Structure 1
């Protein structure tokens, strides 16, 4: 289903849309706006997934007993070794 609506753009945005249509990137300005909205929707979904995964990881780490914690020297030892090797140290 298609819904007709009226949108207002700044001169800069209108010029950009017109250029993209003129270059053949999009068939119409409506198609360009629809593509931008689809990208925004995908970005929002991906951000939600990432935040959910981050929250899940934080919860899991909060349940880790203190005895299982590792010190920062141990945690970053591999990274430091890799950086040192790359620097020729």
Structure 2
């Protein structure tokens, strides 16, 4: 279903839309705006998924008992060795 609406743009935005249509990237200015909205919707969905995964990881880590924690020196030891070896070359 298509809905007609009226939108207002700054001169800069209108010029950009007109250029993209003129370059053949979009059939119409409406198609360009629709593509931008689709991208915004996709970005929002991806952000929601990422935030949900992050929240889930934080919850899981909060349930980790203290005795299972890894000392920061141990956690980064392998990386430090790799960096040290690379510097020696």
Superposition RMSD in Å: 1.3
Where 1:76 maps in the other structure, the secondary structure is helix
Where 1:60 maps in the other structure, the secondary structure is helix
Assess, with a 3 A threshold, how the Cα gap between structure 1 residues 60 and 8 changes in structure 2: closer, same or farther. same
The gaps in structure 2 that reach 5 residues or longer are none
Size of the aligned set, in residue pairs, is 89
CA shift, 1:87, in A, is 3.3
Matched, 1:36 2:41: no
Assess, with a 3 A threshold, how the Cα gap between structure 1 residues 88 and 9 changes in structure 2: closer, same or farther. farther
Structure 1 outlier segments of 4+, above 4 Å: none
The gaps in structure 1 that reach 5 residues or longer are none
Assess, with a 3 A threshold, how the Cα gap between structure 1 residues 87 and 19 changes in structure 2: closer, same or farther. farther
Matched, 1:78 2:78: yes
Give the TM-score, by structure 1 length: 0.92
